[in-house]
């Protein structure tokens, strides 16, 4: 059975986006294109805003999806930051 049979198209798109964003940021960290946690989180936030905006949802739903995506991505990136010893701005 496919995951798409249990969730809607929007939720499936959000899952695909979050995984691809995490992969992209990790790759940028490996290539030293992103060198600080602040830079990575700023990039993630901007990409999330652009993605959610293109979904054309109601404003309240957009805010919820954006917030949840940011929380999810930031938690997953914390492990990436530890793994690659990414600089932390104090």
| Tens digits of residue pLDDT in 14-71 | 999 999 999 999 999 999 999 999 999 999 999 999 999 999 999 999 999 999 999 9
Please, is 34 exposed, middle or buried when counting C-beta atoms within 10 Å of its C-beta (0-12, 13-18, 19+)?
A: buried
17 token code pair? 């986006």
pLDDT band at 1 (very low <50, low <70, confident <90, very high): low
Integer Cα distance of 79 and 33 in angstroms: 18
Using the predicted structure, report yes or no on whether residue 4 has a pLDDT greater than 70.
no
Domain chopping of the chain, boundaries: 21-84
């Amino acid at each position: 059975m496919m995951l798409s049979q249990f969730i809607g198209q929007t939720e499936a798109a959000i899952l695909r986006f979050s995984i691809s964003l995490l992969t992209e940021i990790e790759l940028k960290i490996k290539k030293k294109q992103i060198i600080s946690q602040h830079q990575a989180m700023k990039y993630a936030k901007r990409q999330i805003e652009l993605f959610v905006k293109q979904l054309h949802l109601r404003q309240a739903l957009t805010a919820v999806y954006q917030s949840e995506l940011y929380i999810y991505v930031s938690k997953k990136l914390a492990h990436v930051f530890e793994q690659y010893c990414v600089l932390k701005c104090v």
